[in-house]
């Protein structure tokens, strides 16, 4: 590998690490599944932390307000934490779609281009 190739590889890996928190392991071919799993776990952790519930207490389609008693301040906290963690800006008009984990994942995927 030439020095410029190493720099390009390092830049790519660093960008990948910043967006996913995982090192790029090109030898296994499992990176996408690991990234997706880790990303989904992190989304669940953030939502549960902001709603003050345990991950075992929430299902993909549980509605945050109706089933877990979330108020508007908690939902804004979820939005802000997700934006900070994944370095995206989510339009507040998307909030109605983010009523449950499945909706959060979909909006984030669309916003971040995953």
**Phi and psi at residue 29, in whole multiples of 5°?**
75, 5
User: How far is the C-alpha of 58 from the C-alpha of 63, rounded, in Å?
Assistant: 9
Q: What is the mean pLDDT of residues 73-95?
A: 94
DSSP conformational letter for 21: S
Query: Could you give the residue ranges of the DSSP H alpha helices within the chain?
Result: 3-20, 31-51, 64-68, 72-86, 101-112
CB 75 within 8 A of CB 101: no
Res 1: pLDDT:
47
At 19-71, the pLDDT tens digits run 445 444 443 333 444 555 689 999 999 999 999 999 999 999 999 999 999 99
Q: pTM to 2 decimals? A: 0.66
């Amino acid at each position: 590998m030439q020095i410029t190739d190493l720099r390009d590889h390092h830049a790519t890996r660093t960008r990948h690490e910043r967006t996913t928190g995982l090192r790029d392991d090109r030898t296994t071919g499992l990176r996408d599944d690991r990234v997706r799993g880790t990303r989904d776990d992190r989304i669940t952790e953030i939502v549960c932390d902001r709603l003050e519930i345990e991950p075992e207490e929430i299902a993909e389609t549980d509605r945050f307000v109706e089933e877990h008693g979330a108020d508007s301040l908690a939902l804004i906290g979820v939005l802000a934490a997700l934006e900070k963690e994944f370095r995206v800006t989510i339009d507040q008009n998307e909030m109605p779609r983010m009523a449950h984990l499945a909706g959060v994942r979909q909006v984030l995927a669309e916003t971040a281009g995953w």
